[in-house]
Structure 1
């Protein structure tokens, strides 16, 4: 039995009334997502408004990552999930009560300053889910929802201290080698096997994608990250990044016959070794531009986002 997980950058959804939430809900239901991770959702009001369009069997949780200096945005995350299919992990405490593991901003992780690593500009949002329709919890789906900052890193004085593309690649290295690798192996109280996925807006293109009219901020070698375990070779990870279709829309409305898409920024990453025990995951872009807006870029940006769901 498979589970369908989506990711969508909502483009500054601070004022939910300006977005076409009925179409967003239609997309989630039509695509039969079990879980969808959102970036730039900006506020609990927007989450509630989407849930109101989805129905009572859907739940959601949002949170705000650390405020980023020298930017005009606060970057919020959210998870929405279909409670008929999955639910948050629960565990029984020594006193007999149950504890629910609510999604949280991930703040404790390593960095390697010798590699010019810095603290993440947008710390990710982490959640643990279990299935509800296979006779009870038997495994976990762990999701690391991320939004790597697009703009260049600037110091408090305002100067550019590191190249933008290098900064993004370094942030992805932290997300894969230190956060993903840790959570993929973590064993919590109930000791269930876990399948961990990193997803979101990486602001980096896969070299396999066909980029139109851009020099590209490519992942290059980060398409495959090997994390070795010196104590147990069976725990060595081969983290691959997938989803090579173009997902972001061009700034200007394209001319007739011109491709409307600019970049391939939205991805999934997972440990290929761990996922060998289950059917190979498949990924695809949901072309909401064609399916819901008849190719109208301006209306899509106004009603949904400048990204496509994936």
Structure 2
């Protein structure tokens, strides 16, 4: 059976902005997937479920501006808060937008697994991970979201999704600026290094749950980095990163022979809309997975979906949907 996995930066999508966005169009796009990770979902994710109001008779009803009302009961969803507020990470500054992630999945294809205590494992934020300060690594600006999803038709198989929104520009706070001597491009590349060599490997190696037998792990999201093959220019994300068993990134040919993880980053289509809203721009949205996942389940070349065509033109799409195009990875389980 095949499954369509998606990533979609929805550009400051909030409950308040619901009236200005074409949620019918967005829901139609989301329905092309079996599971999708959203970035830049604001306002505690209220746009997902809406709010409950009462009509004149006192009957509770869902508010109009919600994705739930358009996707239907066959979809489950969860909003996650990476806690970008300054009280959590003072050195990054205060993100007053309240940006978070969301996972949405079809209930006839996926379900949340049960842990060894019989408790449902819902998606969560990964706050604990190791960084290598000698390489210039530091805590991510936005900690990643993590979803474990069990296949309904193959309950012994599990997809583990790590969604990210890598830093775009270097925060301007004095304490951060004085602490590091590199710019935003290097910060982006360092954040990817943390995700790939530290977080991915830890998630992939976690086999403590007795109900998980065959896990496959995938990073997906807005990397703010381009693949060289896209032609979009710098900054770049490596198409292949080699990591050894001690979670060190290997560089030279001799070192690479001792590689433990071969991490492949894919999706080379341009996936943002330019400022003039008349063409595609950067190649920021990707998927990353190891050699085993690549050889075992990846079915087709990752690609952007035809979302602009659905809207009619670039300007309408950018105004009513987002400045990012959703991207798709198709996998199959044998």
TM-score by length of 1: 0.87
Q: Which residue of 2 aligns with 1:25?
A: 27
- Would the aligned equivalents of 1:13 and 1:46 in 2 still touch at CA under 8 Å? yes
**Residue number in structure 1 paired with 2:321:** 304
Is 1:46–2:41 an aligned residue pair?
A: no
Q: Considering only aligned residues, what root-mean-square deviation do their CA atoms show, in Å?
A: 2.1
Residue 297 of structure 2 corresponds to residue 278 of structure 1 = yes
**Aligned counterpart, 1:8:** 8
Per-residue CA shift, 1:49-78, capped at 9, x if unaligned? 112100111010002112251555332100
Q: How does 1:149-298 map to 2 (within 5 A)?
A: 149-156=167-174, 159=177, 161=180, 162-190=182-210, 191-211=212-232, 215-219=233-237, 222-229=238-245, 236-254=260-278, 260-290=279-309, 292-295=310-313, 297-298=314-315
Gaps of 5+ in 1: 255-259
CA distance in 1, matches of 2:172, 2:206: 34
Please name the residue that 1:74 is paired with. 98
The whole-number CA distance in structure 2 between the counterparts of 1:284 and 1:52 is 28
Mark the CA change 1:252 to 1:277 in structure 2 (over 3 Å): closer, same or farther. closer
Distance (Å, rounded) in 2 between the aligned partners of 1:71 and 1:47: 21
Q: Secondary structure at the match of 1:171?
A: helix
CA deviation map 1:105-148 (0-9, x unaligned): 110000000011111001000010001124xx111100001000
1:144 equivalent in structure 2: 162
Q: Distance in 2 between matches of 1:236 and 1:218?
A: 23
Note the C-alpha offset of 1:230: 6.2
Show CA shifts across 1:237-285 (max 9, x none). 100100000001111133xxxxx01100000000023432335453110
Give the number of the structure with larger relative contact order, counting CA–CA contacts within 8 Å between residues 6 or more apart.
Answer: 2
Give unmatched runs, 5+ long, in structure 2: 50-65, 85-91, 248-256, 328-334
